[in-house]
Amino acid sequence: MYTPQIAVEYIQKNLPDFFGPGAQLKASELSDGNINFVFRVEEESTGKSLIIKHAEDTLRVNPNRHIGFDRSKIECEVLKLQREYCPSLIPEIYLYDENEHNIVMEDMKGYENLRYELCAHKIFPNLAEDVADFCGKALIGSTDMVIGAETKKELVKRYTNPKLCEITERHVLTEPYYEDLDDNGVTQENDEFMRTWIYGSEELHARVGMLKALFETKAQALLHGDLHTGSIFVTPEKTCILDPEFAFYGPIGYDTGNFIANMIFAYANGLYTMEDGLDKDAYLAWILMTIESFCDKFIAKAKQLMRELSADRQMKSELFFDAYLADIFKDQAGFAGTELIRRTVGTSKVKDLKSIEDESAKAKAERLCMIAGMKFVMEPEAMASGKDYVEYLKTFDETFDLAD
């Protein structure tokens, strides 16, 4: 068990010049996940601080489940690469210790976890711009057309991440669809719906199976791999993107779809928990604007990068760009759907839904997320733009019957 005292002693030994001689340090645990230990080490007199992230071989929630240490090295290297692409959005790495499986990095003090802030119904005007900038630069910037096929294939080998990919393949793309494979569940009001339409739909299972095959085989770009609102930290003006330990070469739509799905969780929370009035109207309008703007800005940034950086003559025309991005948007819708379903039905549920105290309101939020998830998986071509997501959510009917 990694403890605050161990964290302090580690920093004193391995980064003695960061705080200076004689500094009185304390450590506080920031971890709230299932996998790693994260501590803030701070000099009390000055407030100067850093973050140490320690990886174990097993899951914290299941010591019998071994996941290895490769993810820690991959996370550190990917953070460094992403910082080259987007220096204002990624923390600085001070030290990586492969023997102790520690990453020591800049403390983004003053930033708050976006998921928690969204559950408090706060608005961040720059979010769409910043996440689109990250996706454009980090994802498009790591494709064949920009870095060349040979370089990309070397990176595919380097960032193979089998243990963490297996977690995604199992927890995201398999277990939520089968009653006997995991401890799934929703509110009692939605139990029959879940059993009929999530567990019982052979067509849905086949569509998700195709998305899993896509996840396993489409080495398109170096993904963050877990781009949800809990991996994004914010101030009113700035954004920071963390925790790419699930990074690997996969379909771009997996990252972009995850972000959209998690904004829909925030939308469902606000829709069914906020009192009617101007604050609710403003918050929901901002969520919808963020989804649409993110999609539009990602397209614009991706096209600009491809125009400027594509070194392949067959991958340097507007017709190619349009077809390439349309393919991403199809993948994006499907993976947004699987994220909505798995975070509603599966074991890794989100605070946006879990924190809803009123059971009736929670059931409505769950139903929205499940139906939207199935819609996106089954009809990904219908979500060809940000506006399509917005129009779908604005006209969503919670009494909708899939049998119609």
Q: Are residues 80 and 149 in the same domain?
A: no
Q: Which of 359, 338, 357 is nearest to 348 (CA)?
A: 338
Would you say residue 399 lies in a domain? Answer: no
Which residue, 342, 101, 135, 137, is CA-closest to 225? Answer: 135
Q: What is the pLDDT of residue 212?
A: 98
Closest C-alpha among 289, 241, 266 to residue 386: 289
Examine residue 359 and state whether it is found in any structural domain, yes or no: yes
Is 401 a member of any domain? Answer: no
Claim to verify: residue 213 and residue 101 sit in the same structural domain? no
Q: Are residues 154 and 263 in the same domain?
A: yes
Residues 167 and 269 reside in one and the same domain? yes
Is residue 260 domain-shared with residue 389, that is, in the same domain?
yes
Report yes or no on 400 lying in a domain.
no
The token pair at 257 is: 């779809």
For the chain, residues with pLDDT lower than 70 are: 32-34, 59-62, 182, 398-404
120 plus 17 within the same structural domain: no
Domain containing residue 38: CATH number: 3.30.200.20
CATH number at 118 reads 3.90.1200.10
Report how many domains make up the chain: 2
Q: What is the DSSP letter of 195?
A: I
Residue with tokens 């086949």: 206
Query: Do 285 and 352 lie in a common domain?
Result: yes
Tokens of 258: 């995850």
Q: Is residue 67 within 8 Å of 42, Cβ to Cβ?
A: no
Residues 65 and 149 in one domain: no
Contacts of 46 (CB under 8 A, 6+ apart): none
Same domain, 224 and 366: yes
Q: Is residue 257 part of a domain?
A: yes
Structural domain includes residue 70? yes
327 located within any domain: yes
Domain boundary among 62, 86, 106: 106
**Domain edge (last residue) among 53, 80, 106:** 106
Which token pair is 173?
């793309």
Tokens of residue 44, six digits: 């009390």
C-alpha 66/C-alpha 56 separation (Å) is 9
pLDDT at 183: 75
Q: Reduce the secondary structure of 283-347 to three states and give it as a string.
A: HHHHHHHHHHHHHHHHHHHHHHHHHHHCCCHHHCCHHHHHHHHHHHHHHHHHHHHHHHHHHHHCC
> Which of 41, 73, 106 lies at the terminal end of a domain, its last residue?
106
Residues 204 and 337: their CA atoms lie apart, in Å, by: 11
- Enter the tokens of residue 300: 């614009």
The residue to which tokens 């569940």 are assigned:
185
Surface-to-core class of residue 352, CB atoms within 10 Å of its CB (0-12 exposed, 13-18 middle, 19+ buried)? buried
The 10 Å Cβ neighbour count of residue 145 is 20
List, for residues 71-117, the tens digit of each pLDDT value.
899 999 999 999 999 999 999 999 999 999 999 999 999 999 999 99
211 in the same domain as 98 = no
The pLDDT, as a whole number, for residue 62 is 65
Is 214 in a helix, a strand, or coil? helix
Q: Examine residue 236 and state whether it is found in any structural domain, yes or no.
A: yes
Residue matched to tokens 């219908």: 382
By residue range, what is the domain housing residue 284?
Answer: 112-394
Q: Please give the pLDDT value at position 33.
A: 58
Residues 301 and 218 in one domain: yes
Q: What is the pLDDT of residue 35?
A: 77
| The pLDDT value given to residue 32 | 66
Q: What is the rounded CA–CA span in Å between residue 374 and residue 376?
A: 5
List the end-to-end C-alpha distance of the chain, in Å, as a whole number: 53
Residues 188 and 202 in one domain: yes
How far is it, in rounded angstroms, from Cα 121 to Cα 124?
Answer: 10
For β-strands 102-106 and 221-222, DSSP reports them as unpaired
